[in-house]
Chain A
Amino acid sequence: MQVELRILRYDPERDRRPHEESYRVEAGPMDRVLDLLHRVKYEQDGTLTFRRSCGHGICGSDAMLINGRNRLACKIRVDQLGGKRITVAPLPGLPVMKDLVVDMEAFFAKFRSVQPFLVNEGVAPVRERRQSAHDRERFDDTTKCILCAACTSSCPSFWAQPAYVGPAAIVNAHRFIFDTRDDAAEERLEILADKDGVWRCRTIFNCTDACPRGIHITQAILEVSRAIVERHA
């Protein structure tokens, strides 16, 4: 069938402001939006610009706004979008570099700000540290994050206050705060107790809806908030 793809385009070398362009492409129901973008780029207009790499939802390169929701272009099928018209735009709330490519630097800077790495300065044993399956399960969900920014850029609190550290950074802090092998939970909770930390979350659940990995993000944020409160109790 024929699908109309309406893409928000912007080339800083040619355009004063973003504008929509429409393309007609052949598509089957099992095709992903990424397949359609490739068809446009390779068969119609080579200037169309977007990021992508793995093509199956694990590298996090191709998050974009598709029919009004943040999704990975490689993971959303034509039949899931209904209708014969699909709109595509860059992730909201982040500076657009060109077409569907946004500037990720500030996003990654926030990720780095929460000490997203295991801190354990004790002497390591000769073999692995022991951890029960139960203790590992405690943070399993937040290890799935692929840093695609679908969550943070779907968050109205982030749109209103760009200084907000955002859901993705909190998810990655959660992954270590609740790891029994880690010693820096206190420092991370201190960072996230800041005015631009977890308290900016208004439990709107956009992040959870947007996550292509199915992470229970709002719940993770609430768990971190609770840990901050309990720390002072």
Chain B
Amino acid sequence: MIRDHDALVVGAGGAGLWAALELAKAGVDSAVLTKLYPTRSHTGAAQGGVCAALGNQEEDHWEWHMFDTVKGGDYLVDQDAAEVLAREAIETVIELEHMGLPFNRTDDGRIDQRRFGGHTRNYGEGPVKRACYAADRTGHMILQTLYQQCLKHGVKFYDEYHVVDLVTEGGELGDGGRAAGVVAYRIADGELVVLRSKAVLLATGGFGRMFRVTSNAWSLTGDGVALAYRHGVPMQDMEFYQFHPTGIVGIGILLSEAARGEGGTLLNDLGERFMKDYAPNLMELAPRDMVSRAIYQEIRAGRGIGGKDYVYLDVRHLGRKVIEEKLPDITEFARVYQGVEPLTEPVPIQPTAHYAMGGIPTDLLTRVTRDTAHTVVPGLYAAGEAASVSVHGANRLGTNSLVDLLVFGRRAGRQMAADVRGVRMPAVDDAVMEPVRAELEAIRGRQGGERAAAIRRDLADVMMDDVGVYRDETCLRRAQKAVGGLRERYRTVAVHDTGTTFNTDLLEARELGYLLDCAEAMVASALARTESRGAHSREDYPERDDTKFLAHTLATRRDGVISLAYKPVTITKFQPKPRTY
């Protein structure tokens, strides 16, 4: 089966939905594909807020937001992108309000704002109230609001269509070819569909499921990033993966930084606010990479609670009103998933794998680029967590993921709407689905192989233990060998379910392949970066090295061999400085 749309959006989180909304408003024949239902997307799990220098509570300026983003990212941020982010944050948040988003309000009816980690006044002087929020379900409200507006504007959705390949024309994407559409697997009945298109946006989110303890949804398996990679597009800055400091012990469910933004504290076994030793100025509101490392240091020094591998998040002193009105969901998470009552007990927490700073390299217009010279891949776009533009550099600040998907989702829709005019529909036929059909049939028909779940479990252990918050040459070499072994095992992956109806067994096996691609590139990139910067912390190379590594890593796989290249960071306003808080 073949269908045509002038533009396709893959993924229905915040970035994809806003892009789709812009396309619909521009009158472009377009459609959204999602392997879930749109409202199931993981944007909905974001909690604490979305930063924009509205200045509703106290003086603020987009230049301060830009600076915090650059410094928070340990100067690996492209500063032209950070400027776009900080400027357009303001108009996108206002536009969301106009779309109906139910923000919490100030006494005079404006959007309320609160503090968040790493967001400061006057270039680092102290915390500033910049995060606009809707209780602690800001992401849920963004996702709902954008979906509602998409319905209002008649956006076409392909719900529960799993994109399993990209279609190209004129050669591979890494060699000058263009994106010409996608191959999608209809989950309901296993039918493969070719959707031809003049423009394809990859807004498929991250790949946190490669780790054992993660805040990420089961569906976050790096699909878009890996599919582009298989067609020759590099993965950028894969070694930079954020561990959020406050996850529920063992299962990784997130407890929002908003808890600390409202005044919550972190305590070690001695009852000390240990952040005073690591970030005396911002304390618990230091950026996430620093807080996560501080927690690991406390645990290593034997000051985890009862000598174990966690510390406490304490919100008791905030009082019932603040906790129940401003942090209701995470209070419930602690009750349901830990059996802890935050009103009267400190909550045990440990860092949880949370967010990919890296991904598909793009320019400021969300167009995918494929080399150190920023050469654009025609017809292919990326936005949100799947992309690396790069506004997060080596470490993302809290709330900036939502800002990123709003600003660059909107940009993607507008850019695609402009670019498809005057372009002809690619002339590919449905034979382009044959390679992926063969791959799926091979898995479905294989006898006696190993099931995906066992391989995925081993991958999650390796990545958590050897490619986590702290790394060194020894553990990364071990991880490289292990991931290679897992890729070998994956060649004989098999399923129990051989049917065509809603075959999640088969799709999970497919998704594991994407995770393995992302993991392999992450380990290779981390091994080569012999410095410590942001979330990439090498114990054997503890210093930042700006002479060698003020550059983005581009990992490309060709004939089974990964090669790395380095692309200089764009610096406009802020020269790199030591990073203290």
Q: How many residues of A contact B (CB 8 A)?
A: 59
Q: How close is A182's CB to chain B, nearest CB, in angstroms?
A: 7
The 7 closest A-B pairs by CB, nearest first: A118-B100, A46-B496, A42-B453, A130-B109, A117-B148, A117-B152, A128-B97
Given A59-B40, A136-B104, A179-B100, is A46 in contact with B451 using a C-beta cutoff of 8 Å? yes
Q: What are the residues of chain B within 8 A of A49 when measuring CB–CB? A: 497, 502-505
Q: How close is B255's CB to chain A, nearest CB, in angstroms?
A: 11
Q: How many residues of B contact A (CB 8 A)?
A: 59
Cross-chain contact B499 with A130 (CB below 8 angstroms): no
Chain A 12-32 interface mask (CB, 8 Å, partner B; 1/0): 111000000000000000101
Stretch at the interface among A140-148, A157-165, A200-208, A221-229: A140-148
Cross-chain contact B99 with A118 (CB below 8 angstroms): yes
Which chain A residue shows the least CB distance to B220?
Answer: A53
> Which of the listed residues B106, B110, B149, B218 has the most CB atoms from chain A within 10 Å of its own CB?
B218
A46 to B504, CA, bound (A): 9
Question: Could you list 10 examples of A-B contacts with CB < 8 Å?
Answer: A14-B499, A42-B451, A42-B457, A46-B497, A52-B218, A53-B217, A54-B42, A57-B333, A118-B99, A143-B134
Q: How close is A180's CB to chain B, nearest CB, in angstroms?
A: 10
Of A58, A136, A139, A181, the residue contacting B140 (CB under 8 A) is: A58
Given A13-B500, A118-B148, A133-B104, is A46 in contact with B495 using a C-beta cutoff of 8 Å? yes
Q: How close is A45's CB to chain B, nearest CB, in angstroms?
A: 6
Chain A residues near B (Cβ < 8 Å): 11-14, 30, 32, 41-43, 45-47, 49-50, 52-61, 75, 77, 97-99, 101, 104, 108, 112, 115-120, 124, 126-133, 136, 139-140, 143-144, 146-147, 176, 179, 181-182
A171 to B337, CA, bound (A): 27
Of A61, A130, A182, the residue contacting B100 (CB under 8 A) is: A182
Q: What are the residues of chain B within 8 A of A47 when measuring CB–CB? A: 496-497, 499, 505
Q: What are the residues of chain B within 8 A of A119 when measuring CB–CB? A: 152
Cross-chain contact A13 with B39 (CB below 8 angstroms): no
Q: What are the residues of chain A within 8 A of B109 when measuring CB–CB? A: 130-133
A136 to B103, CA, bound (A): 8
Cross-chain contact B36 with A53 (CB below 8 angstroms): yes
Q: Decide if B318 is an interface residue (CB 8 Å cutoff).
A: no
Q: Decide if B321 is an interface residue (CB 8 Å cutoff).
A: no
Q: How close is A34's CB to chain B, nearest CB, in angstroms?
A: 9
Q: What are the residues of chain B within 8 A of A127 when measuring CB–CB? A: 94, 110
Q: How close is B220's CB to chain A, nearest CB, in angstroms?
A: 9
Q: How close is A62's CB to chain B, nearest CB, in angstroms?
A: 10
A119 to B100, CA, bound (A): 8
Chain B 439-456 interface mask (CB, 8 Å, partner A; 1/0): 000000000000101100
Q: Decide if B219 is an interface residue (CB 8 Å cutoff).
A: yes
Q: What are the residues of chain B within 8 A of A147 when measuring CB–CB? A: 37, 39
Q: How close is A170's CB to chain B, nearest CB, in angstroms?
A: 16
A46 to B508, CA, bound (A): 10
Given A53-B42, A108-B37, A133-B107, is A97 in contact with B502 using a C-beta cutoff of 8 Å? yes
A54 to B495, CA, bound (A): 23
A97 to B501, CA, bound (A): 8
A143 to B100, CA, bound (A): 11
Cross-chain contact A55 with B100 (CB below 8 angstroms): no
Given A49-B502, A61-B36, is A179 in contact with B336 using a C-beta cutoff of 8 Å? no
